[in-house]
């Protein structure tokens, strides 16, 4: 009966195009219920949904600074008044600030001159929403860690239907990680194993509807961007950082917030979780493999809080002149070479300097890296390492294919297969045959007058101009009859031979990776072994070097799973940031916490759960502007198609990718990002989640920064994505003071709310302004 009611409701809403039916104005509670029911109906009954989120692209983006009639919003009144004075008196300060901030960020970023302002109520809502979402994810990880692989059906979220079993199995298989329960020595130990992950959901403010102004787009875990820039952004904005004059006049209008509190809480938590005398180490990448300097800023902050930075060794192994981690007898030690004074012996008195190697126990290691780079061959990371390696090789093969296309002769093609066996002679009377065996093209030839045959595996180079088949040093030109037979049976590729080989190698590796996520957990083992065999056959030395080489810290993860060292941002947590999980996060919050989500997730659907969704999204042109298509494991804005911002052909380029691998893609409702001074912007809430039961700022086992992080890009010409690498920049995020000071306006000083009224109500007469002025005074 619920489904039938939802069916009718969706048809009515789609027919009217609005919740505001003629003569009927529902309450907010009813509107919320209708919206939720309609979304459920679209998921359960896709055939009745004639459109996908109709009208989503028509909603006007929220203007953070100004209301519809141009009035400045209360949170921005003080800051905007200062900016307007600067524009009148010294506009060059704003232009200079761009260069100043870029220098402060060491050239890899810059700050916008207007901060992203929030009211106290808005800031509290976002921070509480991040904490709530983190609590639900914490419960999910604890639920997963308490089960063995074969007990998926016993997960509480699966049993109650908050997360369908097939969805969880698909996400877990795609994560490519071993279950914690299968790696610890005793079955009960997985519940006690310490884990800690950094967390920062991407949050946007959409067009105001149903009372939910802020939405979560996706969840980010591990080393999340923005963690290293919270204090710097604020100090640069206010002119407190070296090299920045900034805008100190903003300070009276910003709440005094501790931008370093998250680092302080993090460091204190880590230190409480190690024994006396044990070190807390931060393992970070060498700057040569990073795109920016945020790592260095974060390492500096954590060093100031008492943590010890150690550079992650590359495939050459650790450098002896730098601090390094060593695993001895199952325990982890920090080893350093230090210069010490040694008393001289013999007739000469005094001291001499010498180098000595010190060794101190390590109780906890924080990874500013992927766990696969710490110990690629460990059971917990081996599959993930293989998937990453396969993707790198796929990229290399695709690049090779492009280069070979450009190099090759115009007439060169590739013979890739035959329909059935073909026997033929060449112009010199030598015998040849082509046939398919096990999906491979096999060419066998026998020289004239001998019984000796040779065999090779295709594809085979074919020159259209000369009519010759070539493989290595062998060149054969089929006679007229042989060519006729071949033309009836062969399949030619327009790619030249080297490009064709690269194309096939990339396709085989891609198919092997995709196979891992197509099946559930039960089908994963054969697919894993197949991928391992392919990588070994493709490059045996490279595979051995990856699995058994000097990269990272050999033995660290064995020590972790035996409980002899703790690890933050370690293995076993990848499944939590899979974008397909977003579609179920609101239900997981309801299940684990018994609460309604403070920050709802953007409506999200998976192509794997609805066979009609591919047609609905790509084949009905009117739906394009209302949707965003994403790959579930894409990062940094990659593999994202924003329908409202793309030409039709560019959007349709994603269709064959989705059709080939529907389980790897989701579609989300398009939501126009809010704007600050003509720049589209988002938010991120830095936090960390831990297995520890200690009370933290975000509740049990969860700490949340009181200062948020924000990015922006110019709205004009935007592709709908907010990436710093794509002409983007940072915003300093601040909370507006609730009782702002008076603001100078010419020769008089006024309360900001009076200025707020003066902007738009000047025509209503001076009496109103005088009454407001004296009342506020």
Which residue shows structure tokens 């089960």? 147
Report the pLDDT value the prediction gives residue 562, as an integer from 0 to 100.
92
Report the pLDDT value the prediction gives residue 752, as an integer from 0 to 100.
55
Rounded CA separation 678/713 (Å): 9
Domain edge (last residue) among 479, 495, 511 = 495
Whether 193 is covered by a domain: the verdict is no
Which residue shows structure tokens 């609805």? 610
Report the pLDDT value the prediction gives residue 641, as an integer from 0 to 100.
95
Q: Is the peptide bond before 534 cis (omega within 30 degrees of 0)?
A: no
DSSP track, 107-118: TS--B-SS-EEE
387 token code pair:
């998937």
DSSP assigned state of 557:
H
Q: What is the dihedral of CA 334, 339, 343, 346, to 10 degrees?
A: 110
Do 35 and 46 belong together in one domain? yes
Report the pLDDT value the prediction gives residue 474, as an integer from 0 to 100.
76
Sorted by sequence, the CB contacts under 8 Å of residue 503 that are 6+ apart come out as 397, 401, 493, 495
Sorted by sequence, the CB contacts under 8 Å of residue 701 that are 6+ apart come out as 135, 138, 689, 690, 691, 692, 693, 694
699 token code pair:
């509740």
- The CATH number that applies at residue 374 is 3.40.50
Do 521 and 388 belong together in one domain? yes
150 token code pair:
């074969």
Sorted by sequence, the CB contacts under 8 Å of residue 678 that are 6+ apart come out as 714, 715, 716
Pairing label, strands 699-700, 748-750? unpaired
Do 273 and 327 belong together in one domain? yes
Q: Which range of residues forms the domain containing residue 534?
A: 384-402+503-548
What's CA 260's distance to the chain center, in Å? Answer: 24
Report the pLDDT value the prediction gives residue 513, as an integer from 0 to 100.
84
Whether 752 is covered by a domain: the verdict is yes
Rounded CA separation 468/457 (Å): 17
Whether 624 is covered by a domain: the verdict is no
SS3 710: strand
Whether 659 is covered by a domain: the verdict is no
Pairing label, strands 308-311, 279-284? parallel
DSSP assigned state of 736:
B
Rounded CA separation 671/642 (Å): 10
SS3 635: coil
Core vs surface per residue 317-332: b (16+ CB within 10 A) or e: ebeeeebbbbbeeebb
Left, alpha or beta for 717 (phi > 0: left; psi -120 to 50: alpha)? left
The long-range contacts involving 468-475, CB below 8 angstroms and separated by at least 24 positions, are 469/415, 469/443, 470/497, 471/443, 474/445
> How many domains would you assign to the chain?
5
Q: Which of 724, 704, 705 is nearest to 714 (CA)?
A: 724
Do 293 and 367 belong together in one domain? yes
What's CA 139's distance to the chain center, in Å? Answer: 21
Do 394 and 534 belong together in one domain? yes
CB 259 within 8 A of CB 606: no
Do 292 and 364 belong together in one domain? yes
Euclidean distance between the first and final Cα of the chain, in Å? Answer: 61
Report the pLDDT value the prediction gives residue 44, as an integer from 0 to 100.
66
Do 289 and 369 belong together in one domain? yes
Domain edge (last residue) among 14, 32, 50 = 50
Pairing label, strands 453-457, 604-606? unpaired
* Spans of the chain below 70 pLDDT: 1-26, 41-50, 148-150, 185-190, 208-212, 291, 340, 342, 344-354, 407-409, 517-524, 636-637, 742-777
Do 286 and 424 belong together in one domain? no
Whether 611 is covered by a domain: the verdict is no
Do 274 and 346 belong together in one domain? yes
Whether 625 is covered by a domain: the verdict is no
pTM: 0.82
Rounded CA separation 364/281 (Å): 6
Do 372 and 276 belong together in one domain? yes
428 token code pair:
């010199």
Do 305 and 439 belong together in one domain? no
Whether 116 is covered by a domain: the verdict is no
Do 313 and 370 belong together in one domain? yes
Rounded CA separation 448/428 (Å): 8
Whether 608 is covered by a domain: the verdict is no
Domain edge (last residue) among 523, 540, 568 = 568
């Amino acid at each position: 009966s619920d489904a039938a009611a939802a069916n009718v409701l969706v048809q009515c809403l789609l027919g009217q195009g609005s919740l505001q039916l003629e003569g009927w104005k529902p309450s907010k509670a009813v509107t919320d219920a209708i919206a939720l029911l309609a979304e459920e109906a679209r998921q359960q009954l896709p055939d009745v949904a004639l459109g996908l989120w109709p009208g989503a692209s028509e909603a006007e983006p929220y203007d953070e600074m100004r209301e519809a009639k141009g009035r400045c919003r209360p949170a921005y009144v003080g800051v905007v008044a200062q900016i307007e004075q600067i524009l009148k008196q010294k506009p060059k300060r704003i232009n200079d600030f761009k260069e100043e901030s870029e220098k402060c960020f060491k050239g890899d970023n810059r700050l916008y001159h207007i901060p992203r302002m929030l009211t106290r109520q808005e800031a509290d809502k976002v921070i509480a929403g991040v904490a709530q979402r983190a609590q639900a994810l914490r419960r999910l990880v604890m639920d997963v860690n308490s089960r063995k692989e074969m007990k998926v059906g016993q997960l509480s979220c699966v049993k109650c239907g908050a997360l369908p079993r097939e969805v969880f199995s698909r996400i877990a298989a795609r994560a490519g990680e071993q279950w914690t329960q299968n790696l610890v020595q005793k079955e009960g130990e997985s519940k006690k194993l310490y884990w800690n992950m950094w967390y920062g959901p991407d949050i946007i403010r959409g067009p105001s509807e149903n009372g939910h102004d802020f939405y979560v787009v996706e969840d980010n875990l591990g080393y999340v961007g923005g963690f290293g820039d919270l204090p710097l952004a604020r100090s640069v904005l206010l002119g407190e950082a070296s090299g920045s004059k900034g805008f100190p006049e903003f300070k009276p209008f910003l709440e005094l917030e501790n931008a370093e509190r998250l680092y302080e809480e993090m460091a204190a938590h880590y230190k409480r979780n190690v024994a006396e005398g044990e070190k807390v180490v931060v393992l970070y990448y060498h700057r040569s493999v990073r795109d920016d300097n945020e790592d260095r800023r974060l390492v500096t902050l954590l060093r100031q809080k008492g943590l010890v930075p150690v550079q992650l060794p590359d495939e050459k192994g650790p450098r002896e002149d730098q601090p390094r981690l060593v695993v001895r007898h199952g325990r982890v030690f920090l080893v350093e070479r230090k210069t010490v004074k040694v008393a001289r012996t013999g007739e000469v008195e005094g001291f001499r300097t010498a180098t000595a190697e010190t060794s101190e126990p390590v109780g906890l290691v924080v990874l500013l890296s992927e766990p696969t780079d710490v110990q690629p061959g460990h059971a917990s990371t081996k599959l993930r390492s293989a998937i990453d390696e396969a993707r790198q090789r796929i990229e290399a093969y695709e690049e090779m294919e492009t280069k070979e296309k450009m190099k090759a002769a115009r007439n060169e093609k590739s013979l890739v297969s035959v329909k059935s066996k073909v026997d033929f002679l060449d112009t010199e009377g030598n015998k040849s045959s082509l046939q398919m065996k096990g999906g491979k093209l096999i060419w066998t030839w026998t020289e004239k007058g001998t019984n000796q045959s040779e065999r090779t595996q295709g594809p085979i180079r074919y020159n259209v101009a000369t009519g010759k088949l070539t493989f290595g040093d062998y060149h054969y030109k089929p006679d007229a009859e042989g060519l006729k037979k071949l033309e009836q049976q062969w399949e030619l590729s327009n790619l030249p031979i080297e490009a064709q080989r690269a194309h096939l190698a990339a396709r085989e590796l891609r198919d092997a990776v995709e196979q891992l996520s197509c099946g559930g957990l039960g089908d994963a083992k054969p697919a894993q072994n197949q991928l391992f065999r392919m990588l070994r056959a493709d490059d045996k030395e490279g595979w051995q070097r990856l699995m058994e080489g000097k990269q990272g810290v050999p033995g660290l993860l064995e020590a972790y799973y035996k409980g002899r060292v703790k690890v933050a941002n370690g293995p076993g947590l990848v499944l939590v940031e899979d974008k397909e999980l977003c579609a179920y996060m609101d239900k997981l919050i309801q299940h684990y916490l018994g609460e309604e989500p403070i920050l709802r997730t953007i409506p999200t659907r998976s192509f794997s759960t609805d066979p009609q969704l591919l047609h609905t999204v790509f084949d009905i042109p009117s739906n394009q502007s209302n949707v965003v298509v994403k790959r579930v494991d894409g990062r940094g804005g990659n593999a994202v198609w924003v329908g409202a911002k793309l030409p039709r052909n560019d959007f349709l380029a994603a269709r064959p990718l989705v059709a080939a691998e529907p389980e790897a893609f989701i579609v989300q409702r398009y939501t126009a990002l809010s704007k600050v001074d003509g720049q589209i912007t988002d938010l991120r809430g830095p936090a960390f989640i831990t297995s520890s039961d200690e009370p933290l700022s975000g509740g049990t086992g969860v700490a949340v920064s009181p200062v948020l992080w924000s990015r922006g890009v110019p709205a004009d010409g935007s592709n709908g994505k907010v990436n710093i690498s794509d002409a983007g920049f940072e915003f300093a995020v601040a909370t507006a003071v609730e009782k702002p000071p008076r603001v100078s306006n010419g020769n008089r000083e006024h309360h900001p709310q009076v200025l707020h009224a003066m902007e738009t109500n000047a025509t209503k007469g001076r009496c109103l302004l005088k009454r407001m002025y004296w009342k506020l005074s």
